[in-house]
């Protein structure tokens, strides 16, 4: 087996010797002959070419099709960059619905994440590590699936027309899983000297946590919650693609019907809303810092 591997390695080396010439030998002043190694960039380039060709065949990628249909993008941009402002009255209520979904889902998810992060932090509840580990595994499982999957699953539990409620629950689940992870990881890195000193006086863990730990993590908690809200606004815009309410409902319809002027109006209003919320979030985070 070893001899076969050596023969295979020798064959590969001979193959590269044929297609890639060796660098010229260098003779030093003392007469020593040095064989400079080949540049690693050659091997990297060959490997990249092989990978690109391989995955192009798997995905049935055809560069000729892109060049042939490339001009279609100009027609699309010509329409989407000329928004239909008469569609304003239809877009704004849906954008506000999307913001409400993101805000309420973020608020509920953030409120739930704080007590759970406290109970599963290994440095605080040392006697229940197996419970904390189990919850952490569950949170990892929850984070595995995107928000759209939760929206689709939750839709099966509600009657048609309850899209905004489904979207809010989906945002809540996503926010809860992300914030809880970030919070317990932060709690497990802080100094618990004050917490242990207060707990030694005989008060409960919860009271010691509120007194000694909570003031330390509140700025991080608020900052992460605002950041999650910022992300959830973007995610909520596509929840309507599965019927979970918000602006995604009409965005999907306009794109399917090739009403790109109306789609441009939707994207314009969403862009303004996201910029406004992002600016507000940055201002609040600076005030909290």
Quote the distance between the C-alpha of residue 111 and its chain's center.
Answer: 21
C-alpha–C-alpha distance, residues 253 and 240, integer Å = 10
CATH class name, domain 85-288: mainly alpha
- Evaluate whether 241 touches 167 at the Cβ level (below 8 Å): no
Ordered by start, the domain boundaries in the chain are 85-288
**Burial class for 150, CB neighbours closer than 10 Å (0-12, 13-18, 19+):** buried
Q: How far apart are CA 149 and CA 241, in angstroms?
A: 11
Range 70-79, long-range pairs (CB < 8 A, 24+ positions): 76/260, 79/260, 79/261, 79/264
Q: What is the pLDDT along the chain (289 residues), one digit of tens a residue?
A: 556 666 665 666 666 666 666 667 666 667 677 676 666 666 777 778 888 888 777 877 777 777 777 777 888 888 888 888 888 888 888 888 888 999 999 999 999 999 898 888 888 877 767 887 888 888 888 888 888 888 888 888 776 666 788 888 889 999 999 999 999 888 888 888 888 888 888 888 888 888 888 888 888 888 888 888 888 888 888 888 877 778 888 888 888 888 888 888 988 988 888 888 888 888 887 877 6
């Amino acid at each position: 087996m070893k001899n076969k591997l050596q023969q295979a390695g020798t064959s590969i080396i001979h193959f590269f010797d044929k297609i890639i010439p060796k660098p010229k030998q260098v003779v030093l002043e003392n007469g020593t002959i040095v064989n400079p190694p080949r540049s690693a960039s050659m091997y990297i380039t060959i490997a990249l070419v092989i990978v690109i060709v391989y995955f192009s065949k798997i995905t049935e990628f055809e560069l000729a099709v892109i060049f042939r249909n490339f001009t279609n993008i100009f027609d699309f941009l010509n329409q989407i960059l000329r928004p239909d402002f008469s569609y304003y009255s239809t877009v704004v209520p849906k954008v506000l619905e999307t913001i409400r979904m993101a805000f309420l889902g973020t608020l509920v998810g953030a409120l739930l994440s704080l007590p759970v992060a406290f109970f599963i932090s290994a440095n605080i509840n040392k006697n229940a590590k197996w419970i904390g580990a189990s919850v952490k595994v569950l949170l990892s499982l929850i984070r595995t699936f995107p928000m759209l999957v939760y929206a689709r699953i939750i839709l099966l539990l509600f009657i048609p027309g309850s899209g905004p409620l489904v979207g809010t629950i989906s945002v809540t689940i996503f926010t809860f899983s992300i914030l809880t992870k970030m919070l317990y990881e932060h709690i497990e890195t802080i100094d618990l000297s004050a917490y242990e000193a207060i707990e030694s006086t005989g008060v409960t863990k919860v009271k010691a946590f509120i007194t000694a730990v909570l003031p330390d993590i509140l700025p991080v908690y608020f900052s992460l919650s605002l950041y999650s809200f910022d992300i959830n606004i973007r995610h909520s815009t596509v929840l309507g693609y599965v019927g979970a309410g918000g602006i995604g409902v009409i965005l999907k319809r306009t794109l399917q019907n090739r009403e790109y002027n109306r789609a441009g109006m939707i994207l314009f209003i969403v862009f303004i809303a996201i910029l406004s919320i992002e600016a507000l979030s940055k201002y609040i985070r600076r005030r909290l810092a």
